[in-house]
Amino acid sequence: MCEDLIHGRKIHGAKKSAIKEDTELIRGVYLNGFTDDISECLKLRSSIYETEYGEIAGRDEKDRDAVHVLLYDSNDRPIAAVRLLFGMDGDFEFGYLCVVPDARNEGNADFVMHLIFDKAAVSGAKKLYTTEINHHKEYFDRYGFEEADGRLVLDLVRYYREHSCHHDS
């Protein structure tokens, strides 16, 4: 199930006419928790959650049933990850969104979020939620997540009806 997605991102300060020099390719990969090696996702998640939140975030029983997104920079270094769990009722859960500190504020978390939005939508999700309400609430507000029952919830159908995605190219 390993599926590569490429995203071209302009490097800040580069000239518009220099197409090859001003574009950094970021690669996103969907990994099946049952069949693919998710060790890089787990290593990234564990490192960031333990360092920044003081939480142990190792492998758990949900990892096997999840789709994991792993983002690589242009040097093939893992820089971001998130886990997506499919719900039979149309409510899909995601968690453990993490981006290495030196790759933040460059659109990497946004790229990862759009990858899970797209994967969830094509898989039949109506709503997307996270229980990690204490970690990134302000960040999720920009997408229209709303707090309900101790979770942050996004009406994915409404999101796609009201938004169009325009990644930098």
What does the pLDDT look like over 90-115, one tens digit per residue?
899 999 999 999 999 988 999 999 99
- pTM value is 0.81
Cβ atoms of 14 and 21 within 8 Å: the answer is yes
16 pLDDT above the threshold of 50: no
What does the pLDDT look like over 117-156, one tens digit per residue?
999 999 999 999 998 877 778 889 989 999 998 899 999 9
What does the pLDDT look like over 18-47, one tens digit per residue?
334 556 788 899 999 999 999 999 999 999
Reading across the β-sheet that carries 67-72, which strands appear in turn? 3-10, 23-32, 67-72, 78-85, 91-99, 127-130, 151-155, 146-148
CA neighbor of 156 nearest in space, from 71, 94, 83: 94
**Rounded mean pLDDT, 44-65:** 87
Give the per-residue pLDDT at 13. 34
CA neighbor of 72 nearest in space, from 33, 34, 115: 115
Cβ atoms of 96 and 49 within 8 Å: the answer is yes
Which domains, ranges and CATH numbers included, belong to the chain?
3-162 (3.40.630.30)
Give the per-residue pLDDT at 119. 94
* Partners of 135 in the β-ladder: none
The string of DSSP letters for 76-133 reads: S-EEEEEEEE--TTSEEEEEEEEE-GGGTTSSHHHHHHHHHHHHHHHTT-SEEEES-T
The Cα–Cα gap between 86 and 91 comes to 7
Give the per-residue pLDDT at 133. 76
Structure tokens at 156: 């994915």
